[in-house]
Amino acid sequence: MSFIHIKKAWSLSQNDITGEREFIKRREILKKLASSSLVFAGSSFLPYSVYGSANSFYPPPVNKIYNVNRELTKEKYATTYTNFYEFGSNKNIWRKASKLKTKPWLLSIDGLVNKPLKIDINDLIKKIGGIEERVYRFRCVEAWSMTVPWAGFPLNKIISLVEPNSDARFVKFETFYNPDVAPGQKQKWYPWPYQEAITIEEATNELSFMATGIYGKELPNQNGAPFRLVLPWKYGFKSIKSIVKISFVKERPIGMWEKLAPKEYGFWANVNPNVSHPRWSQATEQQLGKEERIPTIIYNGYAEQVSDLYDNLQNKLKDKLFR
């Protein structure tokens, strides 16, 4: 981010990679699924391992509406090349992040709502009626990207539960604060805790997703366990990890990166190949694990679902919408 030097090629060395989980043949997957009580509405073949989770929510049924015409990023890349500044400013923090205790995990939802809530994340999943899998594109502001199957539920389900009142205009999210576990939080020049926000209209958009899992399993800590936001049409820094608090507020909150470098990281941060970051182009992106760069697409390919949100704002905000 503001302090990151972007390497030209995506740069995961062999040493950074965990041994990829053993590939499981179709027959074995089906056997496992047959013994599970979950109804599996997805395709008959999963391109990743479904082993390794003791949690009965996994693997979740696949929501086929949300798919993309891109190859899935290999699990080992998506889970070992991660941004999580609480654990350090490089990408290789997955070992450090394993120290975070995610069970139990209390989430508070407060602010301008009729029914505030303090609830453990597992109880929230049950209350909401379970989780589903969606494949989304994900585009970091640093110009790398991935395509991954997230598990979770639409943010809209939380909104229905807590019933925001008519003064609530923004939804604010906060990550945990615990410098004893997360050494990055000892670096005082960052305005911890990590914070992000979106408008209520963005929050109720069908794409706004609360992820609890990835690749058919619970999220590993480095990807934001146990509970993170995923906004596939926005630059990745909006998709805040390991959330402990959601607040419904009237005034627009300022996110951590916006506080640090407002000219580089704005509030809207919608993906747009035509609006450069002040220090680099956003025209193309490098998919994790691939050599060649591909063109970046406006709203990261989700214009059909989200461009309405911004039609009235276009003239007023121009390229602020995309930074």
The C-alpha atoms of residue 137 and residue 303 are separated, in whole angstroms, by: 13
Where on the phi/psi map is residue 171: left (φ > 0), alpha (ψ -120 to 50), or beta? Answer: beta
The C-alpha atoms of residue 219 and residue 225 are separated, in whole angstroms, by: 5
Query: Which of 49, 73, 80, 82 contacts ligand MTE by CB under 6 A?
Result: 82
Based on the shown chain and the rule CB under 6 A, indicate whether residue 175 belongs to the binding site for ligand MTE: yes
Based on the shown chain and the rule CB under 6 A, indicate whether residue 76 belongs to the binding site for ligand MTE: no
Based on the shown chain and the rule CB under 6 A, indicate whether residue 309 belongs to the binding site for ligand MTE: no
Based on the shown chain and the rule CB under 6 A, indicate whether residue 223 belongs to the binding site for ligand MTE: yes
Q: How far is the CB of 222 from ligand MTE (least distance, A)?
A: 7
Q: Which of 128, 203, 195, 211 is nearest to 171 (CA)?
A: 203
Query: Which of 85, 215, 267, 268 contacts ligand MTE by CB under 6 A?
Result: 85
The C-alpha atoms of residue 153 and residue 187 are separated, in whole angstroms, by: 33
Based on the shown chain and the rule CB under 6 A, indicate whether residue 80 belongs to the binding site for ligand MTE: no
Based on the shown chain and the rule CB under 6 A, indicate whether residue 207 belongs to the binding site for ligand MTE: no
Query: Which of 137, 241, 245, 323 contacts ligand MTE by CB under 6 A?
Result: 241
Q: How far is the CB of 165 from ligand MTE (least distance, A)?
A: 28
The residue (of 1 and 162) whose beta carbon lies closer to ligand MTE is 1
Based on the shown chain and the rule CB under 6 A, indicate whether residue 136 belongs to the binding site for ligand MTE: no
3-state helix, strand, coil in the chain (%, to 5): 25, 25, 55
Contact 212, 125 (CB under 8 A): yes
User: What DSSP designation does 319 have?
Assistant: G
The alpha carbon dihedral of 302, 266, 213, 14 has a sign of positive
Residue span binding ligand MTE (CB under 6 A) among the ranges 105-113, 160-168, 239-247, 271-279: 239-247
Q: How far is the CB of 132 from ligand MTE (least distance, A)?
A: 19
Cis-peptide into 193, omega within 30 deg: yes
Query: Which of 48, 50, 80, 86 contacts ligand MTE by CB under 6 A?
Result: 86
Based on the shown chain and the rule CB under 6 A, indicate whether residue 140 belongs to the binding site for ligand MTE: yes
Q: How far is CA 259 from CA 2, 10, 255, 262, 267, in A?
A: 11, 27, 6, 6, 10
Query: Which of 149, 236, 253, 255 contacts ligand MTE by CB under 6 A?
Result: 236
The residue (of 132 and 285) whose beta carbon lies closer to ligand MTE is 285
- Per-residue tokens: 145: 């990207």
Binding residues vs ligand MTE (CB under 6 A): 1, 82-86, 140, 175, 194, 223-224, 236-237, 239-242
